[in-house]
Amino acid sequence: AQSVSQHNHHVILSEAASLELGCNYSYGGTVNLFWYVQYPGQHLQLLLKYFSGDPLVKGIKGFEAEFIKSKFSFNLRKPSVQWSDTAEYFCAVNAPLNNAGNMLTFGGGTRLMVKP
Amino acid sequence: GAGVSQSPSNKVTEKGKDVELRCDPISGHTALYWYRQSLGQGLEFLIYFQGNSAPDKSGLPSDRFSAERTGGSVSTLTIQRTQQEDSAVYLCASSFEGQGGEQFFGPGTRLTVL
């Protein structure tokens, strides 16, 4: 079965600090990879995605992620965080279903708190 | 345009009662997913609909859970004889197609079983 691991459950940073959130997945086939963000009181929103091509993908709000196939990793980064980045971040990978659709398998999430 | 909507936003019920949760996907999206977000279990896939194909029910935790999608649009998730462990936020998502495209999530229904 596919699985996604996020190593950091809680991260506390000061504004302007750099951020890197780890994500590793276990799946031997072709994957699509996603980072979703859930701001307090809001629903899940897509931050960025990787389907193919350049393994360094850029998303909204200055976030980026690098797909390293050999390490089965898709770490999320931001050079300088802001207080407004306080949220919970979820890494996700698609997985094939019998009828050729793709559910998402999510990591456990990382709660980021940015201190002003 | 309108996003995915879910109703009710909150539902409190007594153990043993049945509940129905509704999802209105984004117009034109052919794929619809239900997930559950609970403490200790994270985000779990429940069921998936794609067009007129038979749904994939592989994530449903028990036979008390069922879902249907009428007319390829609105979906209802039904939980019969609710248990306290069913308490969670139930999320619906939709996408243009089921081939790994971006899924758009609704705000969820918070279910509390007393």
Selecting from B33, B50, B104 the residue whose C-beta is nearest the C-beta of A99 gives B50
Would you tell me which residues 44-73 of chain A have a C-beta closer than 8 angstroms to some C-beta of chain B? 44-46, 49, 51
Cα B9 versus chain centre, distance: 12
B32 to each of A88, B4, B102, how far by Cα in Å? 23, 10, 12
Q: A43 and B105: CB-CB below 8 Å?
A: yes
Query: Are the C-beta atoms of A4 and A93 separated by less than 8 Å?
Result: yes
Q: What is the pLDDT of residues B10-45, one digit of tens each?
A: 999 999 999 999 999 999 898 999 999 998 778 999
A98 to each of A1, B44, B61, how far by Cα in Å? 14, 18, 18
pLDDT for the residue A98: 46
pLDDT for the residue B38: 92
Mutate to test the interface with A, among B103, B104, B109, B110 (most CBs of A within 10 A): B103
Whether residue B53 is predicted with pLDDT greater than 90 in this model: the reply is no
The residue assigned the tokens 């859930």 is A38
Between CA A112 and CA A86 the distance in angstroms is 5
Q: pLDDT of chain A along its 116 residues, tens only?
A: 678 999 889 999 999 999 999 999 997 777 889 999 999 999 999 999 998 899 999 999 999 999 999 999 999 999 999 999 999 999 999 865 544 457 899 999 999 999 98
Query: Are the C-beta atoms of A17 and A80 separated by less than 8 Å?
Result: yes
Q: A99 and B56: CB-CB below 8 Å?
A: yes
B43 in the Ramachandran plot: left (φ > 0), alpha (ψ -120 to 50) or beta? beta
The residue assigned the tokens 């701001």 is A39
Between CA A4 and CA A6 the distance in angstroms is 7
Selecting from A36, A43, A109 the residue whose C-beta is nearest the C-beta of B42 gives A109
- Among B105, B100, B111, B114, residue whose Cα is nearest residue B34: B105
Whether residue B1 is predicted with pLDDT greater than 70 in this model: the reply is no
Query: Are the C-beta atoms of A46 and A32 separated by less than 8 Å?
Result: no
Selecting from A43, A101, A107 the residue whose C-beta is nearest the C-beta of B31 gives A101
Strand partners, A38: A88
pLDDT confidence band for B52 (50 / 70 / 90): confident
Question: From the CA atom positions of chain A, what is the Rg in Å?
Answer: 14
Work out the burial of residue B74: count CB atoms within 10 Å of its CB; fewer than 13 is exposed, 13-18 middle, 19 or more buried: middle
Between CA B50 and CA B15 the distance in angstroms is 32
Q: B53 and A94: CB-CB below 8 Å?
A: no
Between CA B91 and CA B77 the distance in angstroms is 10
